[in-house]
């Protein structure tokens, strides 16, 4: 049994990725049986019901293993969902890599953590470590010797150069560029189209070219 936490656009795309992985020879057990949502409970997506989190939790009384995908873009919300459901021993978090995503398949050259999702068109080169519950969205590039922490979201069209170290809970907006040999601290937010030319050492929102911290 497989479920998708979320019922918005990203959740629909994750359902599609599961379908494509199955079509490429992946296990039928990975196909989602339902979505877990909030605002559209009772509706259906791709002929699958949207159920409440409460109903899902109540269904965990049996010993059946459940594969859970957390399909939300917010790093903070992803972590909250994980912390809420990790206590259930029958829940596991599969790692999804779209069949056409490119990466160094030699042993240990690319390590991708549990629950992470690598989307179509993305290229992850070599000697890269990606943490747990990371989303690498459409058409991203991740350069050599890069480390990405847990619960990060890398939005469509992002280019991360080589030797970048990204902390936990980082959000990188669509089309942003992070230049080589930089460090990005935990929980930083990089705006769409920003070009990061210097290390980001304190949390905040960084926008522009070159990226600068947005003063509130």
pLDDT for 25: 85
Strand partners, 68: 3
Phi, psi of 201 (to 5 degrees): -110, -5
Rounded to whole angstroms, how far apart are CA atoms 12 and 96? 14
Q: Which of 49, 71, 94 is the last residue in one of the domains? A: 94
Rounded to whole angstroms, how far apart are CA atoms 162 and 173? 18
Distance of CA 148 to the CA centre of its chain: 11
User: Mean pLDDT per segment of 10 residues, for the chain of length 216 residues?
Assistant: 94 95 84 93 95 90 84 97 92 93 92 96 97 97 98 98 97 98 98 98 97 88
61 shares its domain with 47: yes
pLDDT for 191: 98
pLDDT for 200: 98
pLDDT for 24: 87
Count CB neighbours of 122 within 10 A: 24
pLDDT digits (tens, 9 = 90+) for 124-151: 999 999 999 999 999 999 999 999 999 9
Phi, psi of 29 (to 5 degrees): -65, -20
pLDDT for 62: 64
Rounded to whole angstroms, how far apart are CA atoms 169 and 166? 9
Tell which residue, 66, 4, 63, has the closest CA to residue 36.
4
Rounded to whole angstroms, how far apart are CA atoms 43 and 165? 41
Q: Which two tokens stand for residue 52?
A: 């409440």
pLDDT for 169: 98
pLDDT for 216: 65
CATH code (residue 33): 3.40.50.20
pLDDT for 63: 60
CATH code (residue 131): 2.160.10.10
Rounded to whole angstroms, how far apart are CA atoms 170 and 150? 8
- Dihedral of CA 116/118/1/37: which sign? positive
Q: Which of 65, 94, 123 is the last residue in one of the domains? A: 94
86 shares its domain with 43: yes
Residue 212, domain member (yes or no): no
Write down the pTM of the prediction: 0.94
């Amino acid at each position: 049994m497989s479920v998708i936490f979320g019922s918005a656009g990203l959740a629909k795309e994750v359902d599609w990725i599961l379908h494509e992985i199955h079509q490429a020879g992946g296990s039928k057990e990975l196909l989602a049986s339902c979505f877990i949502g909030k605002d559209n409970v009772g509706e259906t997506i791709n002929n699958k019901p949207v159920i409440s989190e409460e109903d899902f939790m109540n269904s965990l009384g049996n010993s059946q293993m459940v594969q859970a995908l957390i399909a939300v873009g917010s790093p903070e919300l992803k972590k909250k969902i994980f912390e809420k459901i990790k206590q259930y021993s029958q829940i596991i978090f599969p790692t999804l890599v779209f069949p056409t995503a490119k990466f160094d398949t030699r042993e240990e050259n690319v390590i991708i953590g549990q629950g992470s999702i690598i989307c179509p068109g993305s290229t992850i080169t070599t000697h890269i470590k990606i943490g747990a519950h990371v989303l690498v969205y459409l058409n991203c590039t991740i350069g050599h010797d890069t480390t990405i922490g847990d619960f990060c979201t890398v939005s469509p069209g992002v280019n991360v150069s080589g030797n970048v170290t990204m902390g936990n809970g980082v959000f990188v907006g669509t089309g942003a560029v992070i230049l080589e040999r930089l460090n990005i601290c935990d929980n930083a937010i990089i705006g769409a189209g920003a070009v990061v030319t210097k290390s980001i050492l304190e949390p905040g929102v960084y926008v522009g070219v070159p990226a600068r911290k947005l003063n509130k």
